[in-house]
Chain A
Amino acid sequence: SQTIHQWPATLVQPVGSPLSLECTVEGTSNPNLYWYRQAAGRGLQLLFYSIGIGQISSEVPQNLSASRPQDRQFILSSKKLLLSDSGFYLCAWSVTGRGTEAFFGQGTRLTVV
């Protein structure tokens, strides 16, 4: 069966420090991968999505970047965190096709202090 792992669950980082959030998927090949930020009143904002290794699409200009070094690994990064980067980050995956379901990780609560 397919599973998705996202870590860490919570993270407190100082302003100006780097960030690396990791997401891995098991039990499937060539998934679509997604990073979202969930905020009250703003819903699920799509940050990045990837349809294959090394293929990253950015949806909103920001202080973050994403990489996909392996087929089932998706990393969210920042070189220098800002206070405004605080939030709840969700990783998800789906297979390509009509009506396919997306599966979500447990999320990471990032607090920048």
Chain B
Amino acid sequence: AQRVTQPEKLLSVFKGAPVELKCNYSYSGSPELFWYVQYSRQRLQLLLRHISRESIKGFTADLNKGETSFHLKKPFAQEEDSAMYYCALSGLTGGGNKLTFGTGTQLKVEL
């Protein structure tokens, strides 16, 4: 079974403060982890994926297999970062991909 856990429903930080959105997963195979973001009145969209080891909009996330975590981090929060963030896990199954999401964390950046 594959499972994603995001312990925080809401995270409120001040502009310029560091941000860390937590994500833990459970998966028996080799995991593919992602972060998706949903801005107000927009469709859910990909923010970054672990396989690319990229930094998008200042956000980074490192896959830690020992701790089964994929926390999302940004050193200095911006007002435009306010959004709903979902951690997701993709597992190969029967010739396709099964994609499951966590419960999401609402990030609010205050001035």
Contact = CB atoms under 8 A, between A and B. Distances in A.
Interface of A: 32, 34, 36, 41-46, 49-52, 55, 57, 90, 92, 94, 96-102, 104-107
B69 interface: no
Interface string B38-76: 000001111001111000000000000000000000000
Contact of A42 (B92, B94, B98, B103): B103
Interface residues of B, number: 29
A90 B94 CA distance: 23
Contacts of B88: 102
Task: Determine chain B's interface SS by DSSP, over half rule.
Answer: strand
Interface string B1-43: 0000010010000000000000000000000101010000001
Contact of B51 (A90, A98, A106, A107): A98
Contacts of B102: 43
Contact of B99 (A43, A92, A97): A92
Given A44-B86, A44-B104, A99 B99 contact: no
Task: Determine chain A's interface SS by DSSP, over half rule.
Answer: strand
Contacts of A92: 44, 99
Nearest to B4: A43
A46 B101 contact: yes
Contacts of A45: 101
